[in-house]
Structure 1
């Protein structure tokens, strides 16, 4: 009996280790948050990028802005040791901002570390800021993002979240809040750019994914314990029957 219980304990420990590892991976995806983004307004976007690799550093972050999330004005916050490249794309449906027709918008923003030493190392995370507007009239906006590592591998966070079910590699999703304020960011861009806001806290989407992973882990553990308990009782009953 003691030998069997010992084997069950070993199996339980191995399964728990695997579940915890899987929960950590599920929660460690790229997220986006904003303290002030709202439909029709201007605000700052903060992309939080954890480095999942145990051996390589994150040296590139490529953020795509789909046309449905297009903004007339978009700027990147400087990052020491990183370069920023912006790609513009012609709009099928031009935007109007400040009485002008906007026919092109920034569709891709790519941050690249100048060398591996300034990359995001294993066990670390980095934050990358964008500022712009006006945001479109929508409840949520998705920003597919590709993360590049120093060993040449990539993590593509590009899958859409459908009906609240988070995919394996979800694209960062921003929830827009409040009503349109009509705030004219171009009127005070100089002041806004000089006083860079503090990095935003973890995105609600990331927090929600972490909570979901934790709940799933607890349920799995409880189910496993119940199953092992039943197995032990069944084994004991069988021993008693044989002994009789």
Structure 2
């Protein structure tokens, strides 16, 4: 086998592996999701609702995120997104919820972004700082409605299927893990000290959500480099065997 044939085969293997990696990642990127997808119970967090545009002939023009009322979040703030208007709706809860920080009778129930556009093959992240996260549940769900310029409305609100597999339009879910103690405090929800704690936590939580995306890209880049290095090693090994055979 000639050197050129070996190189062509190595290039084909590399291209196929890269295409397979990208193909496996696409389904996850097509869903509305929360990034990062986990946070500690009892603390504050900053998340980004990542909304991809799935249509080739329309743009996303409105995104509505419903907040839980069975586990309400007393403190919610949003980061401005250039070109988008945001409306935070606060309403009375169906029934008061008693927490360690006091009784909550009203909370943020919905956040709506509108007026902007997410074009074909694009996505947008909408950042929210929120807390205090409940300690009596291991997840919070945020049903999301995506509206396109052509009038199509897509509801991302499906729970996992009975067999545990992912639904067609899965509801964005934030997984909650036991607290390590760093975010816990004893201040009441309505006290001045609680207000100061909120500001401190929101400042700490204000790390760019793009870091998660950057980490993903770095991991994929390193994985691709490793794959290419492996292919080069195979080529060098084949050439070494051929030279060794000729020498003998």
TM-score normalized with structure 2 length = 0.62
The 8 Å contact of residues 60 and 149 in structure 2, kept in 1 or not, is answered as yes
Q: 3-state DSSP class of the match of 2:46? A: strand
Q: Which moved more, 1:83-92 or 1:58-67?
A: 83-92
- For residues 8-42 of structure 1, the C-alpha deviation after alignment (integer angstroms, 9 at most, x for no partner) is xxxxxxxxxxxx99995675010012387211111
The aligned residue for residue 96 of structure 2 is 93
The 8 Å contact of residues 39 and 135 in structure 1, kept in 2 or not, is answered as yes
2:129 equivalent to 1:119:
no
TM-score normalized with structure 1 length = 0.63
Q: CA RMSD in A?
A: 2.9
Alpha-carbon distance change, 188 to 134 in structure 1, aligned in 2, over 3 angstroms: closer
The 8 Å contact of residues 87 and 112 in structure 2, kept in 1 or not, is answered as yes
Q: CA shift at 1:86, angstroms? A: 1.8
CA distance in structure 1 between the aligned counterparts of 2:150 and 2:65, rounded to whole angstroms: 20
The aligned residue for residue 34 of structure 2 is 32
- For residues 47-68 of structure 1, the C-alpha deviation after alignment (integer angstroms, 9 at most, x for no partner) is 1110001011111110011223
2:133 equivalent to 1:135:
yes
Q: CA shift at 1:89, angstroms? A: 2.7
Please, which runs of 5 or more residues in structure 2 have no aligned partner?
1-21, 188-193, 214-248
CA distance in structure 1 between the aligned counterparts of 2:42 and 2:28, rounded to whole angstroms: 33
